[in-house]
Structure formats: C-alpha cells, structure tokens
Amino acid sequence: MFEIAELESPVGPLTLAARRGRLCALMFSRDWDDVAERLSRRLGETAWRTESDPAGAVSAVEAYFGGDVDALTTFPVEMNGTPFQCNVWSAMRDIPAGAVASYGDLAFRIGAPRASRAVGAASGANLIAIVIPCHRVVASGGGLGGYGGGLDVKRWLLDHEQVHTDSGVLATAAAGR
C-alpha cells in the first residue's frame, strides 16, 4: 500500500508517495495523476492511503526547503526503473548540493561514456524529483538543459542550493569527474 501526502513548497504543490518506509515518488502535484498511474504500473500496487508524513518524507522535504539542503541526501528511496536508470539515478544522488554535472559527466561516471542521451532519458523518467536531484544535471555547455518542473523551478532549486544562475546559464563550473 502506498502512503501519500501533499505539501506546499516554494516551487509549488508537491505530492509524494512512500511504501515500506521508503520514498517512491515525489512530483509536482499537477503531474500526479500520470505519476500515480506510472507508479502503480511499475510496482503492481494500487492501494493508496493518505498520511500526514509518509516515511518522514514530508518532514525531510520541508527541512530541505527550510535551508537544510542536505536533508534529502541519504533519505531512503525505492528506485523503480531499469538497471540503467537506477545507475543514473544513483549517480545523480552522488552530486552534492551546490554542484552540478552534465549528462555526459554522468554517462562517464556510470561507465557508459557515449550514453549522454540515454542519461537524459533516464533523468526524464525520474519519479522522485529533488531527492534524486535531476535538477543538478545540466547541458554540457553550461546551459540549464531541461526539467519536468520547468526551467524557472530548476533555476530556483539551484539558487536555493547556492549554484548561482545567470540568464539560464550556469555561472559555476560543472562538477568534475
């Protein structure tokens, strides 16, 4: 059974789902119907129950938005994807707050240096936004690239984590390999 909650955040309403003490989805509420369907299909689980703080995830996300940008670093997640996607998502979790990496950097880190487009596709399939920090992944030229929540939200998250942006182009260097 999934435990779900909705919370207000500086980037808009978020909905999250946990099961067995692990976060399995955190998305913008406007996308929740699609996410819930994808999650149910991936996990074969269809029962939902509203809780105030499933697995402590609401508290952790609130701490993150309250200024503790490392509050989500080790939060337990249930990654549900292909082995390649899970490798990409694990590599994303290794990017510290305040740093960024390009899609190519991540491809190199997971041992698939020619797979930067596949890394981008895995990023787009991420159902645990912010906790699996796909917002920290940028284009190789330093531009923001894409983000399911929109570029304004990506810019806000990076600024919140002290990665300073200017006109959509990162003013700091990408994280090294």
Residues marked active site are found at 134
Check if the beta carbon of residue 119 is closer than 8 Å to that of residue 140.
no
Quote the CA–CA distance of 66 and 149 in Å, as a whole number: 20
Tokens in use for 159?
Answer: 């600024």
DSSP code string of the chain: -EEEEEE--TTS-EEEEEETTEEEEEEEGGGHHHHHHHHHHHH----EEE-SSGGGHHHHHHHHHTT-TTTTTT--B---S-HHHHHHHHHHHTSPTT--EEHHHHHHHTT-TT-HHHHHHHHHT-SBTTTS-GGGEE-TTSB----TT-HHHHHHHHHHTT--EETTEESSPPPP-
